[in-house]
């Protein structure tokens, strides 16, 4: 048997995800994305870091928060007709389905990484636009976003 070449594979996905979350916690504490943070993100998510950074810099990220339960989902602009829907540990894009969920090629998709970093940055430093909705309105919006995401993935 050949030894695994990728250093990220030394850890299980769960361990790597935990570490990735702790990097985001460190970003939150520092209030900015430093070179050290970027190096760590590169270690775990080299395949999506550049495209995630592009999303952070150029695309709209909407955070929809339910009140009073504080549940949330995110919508990230895409080249496709409908934005991608993100729930914790889920993104509606094809890369998430094929590379993250069905195989363990990637730890996260570019949208998930962008949202994790954006959520860790202070409000003024990210392009996240937050909308708060009452719990029942939030559930309706989520249902609609799921439907659009499903329609889109079929077409
Ligand atoms: Zn995605």
pLDDT tens per residue across span 113-130 = 999 999 999 887 888 999
**pLDDT over 90 percentage in the chain:** 74
Residue 109 CA to ligand 1 centre (angstroms): 5
Query: Which pLDDT belongs to residue 149?
Result: 84
Domain span holding position 52? 10-154
Is beta strand 61-67 parallel, antiparallel or unpaired with respect to 128-134? Answer: parallel
Please report whether residue 68 resides in a domain.
Answer: yes
Q: Distance (Å, rounded) from C-alpha 41 to C-alpha 148? A: 31
Residue 90 CA to ligand 1 centre (angstroms): 8
State the pLDDT confidence band at 154, using cuts at 50, 70 and 90. low
Please report whether residue 58 resides in a domain.
Answer: yes
Report the range out of 56-65, 97-106, 132-141, 145-154 with the highest average pLDDT. Answer: 132-141
- Cα-flanking dihedrals φ and ψ of residue 31, to 5°? 80, 5
- pLDDT(104) > 90: no
Please report whether residue 1 resides in a domain.
Answer: no
Query: Which pLDDT belongs to residue 99?
Result: 94
Residue 93 CA to ligand 1 centre (angstroms): 4
Query: Which pLDDT belongs to residue 9?
Result: 52
**Bridge partners (DSSP) listed for residue 87:** 90
Measured in residues, the chain has a length of: 155
Chain mean position to CA 8: 19
Residue 36 CA to ligand 1 centre (angstroms): 25
Residue 2 CA to ligand 1 centre (angstroms): 31
| Cα–Cα distance list, 80 to 103, 118, 149, 155 (Å) | 23, 21, 10, 11
Number of domains into which the chain is organized: 1
Determine contact, residues 35/45, Cβ cutoff 8 Å.
Answer: no
């Amino acid at each position: 048997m050949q030894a695994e070449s990728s250093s990220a594979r030394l850890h299980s996905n769960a361990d790597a995800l935990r570490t990735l979350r702790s990097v985001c916690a460190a970003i939150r504490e520092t209030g900015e994305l430093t070179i050290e943070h970027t190096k760590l993100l590169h270690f775990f998510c080299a395949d999506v870091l550049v495209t995630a950074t592009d999303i952070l810099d150029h695309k709209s990220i909407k955070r929809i928060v339910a009140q009073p339960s504080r549940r949330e989902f995110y919508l990230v602009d895409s080249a496709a007709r409908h934005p991608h829907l993100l729930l914790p540990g889920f993104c509606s894009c094809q890369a998430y389905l094929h590379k993250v969920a069905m195989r363990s090629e990637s730890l996260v998709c570019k949208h998930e990484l962008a949202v994790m970093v954006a959520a860790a940055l202070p409000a003024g430093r990210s392009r996240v636009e937050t909308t708060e909705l009452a719990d029942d309105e939030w559930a309706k919006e989520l249902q609609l976003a799921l439907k659009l995401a499903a329609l889109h993935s079929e077409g």
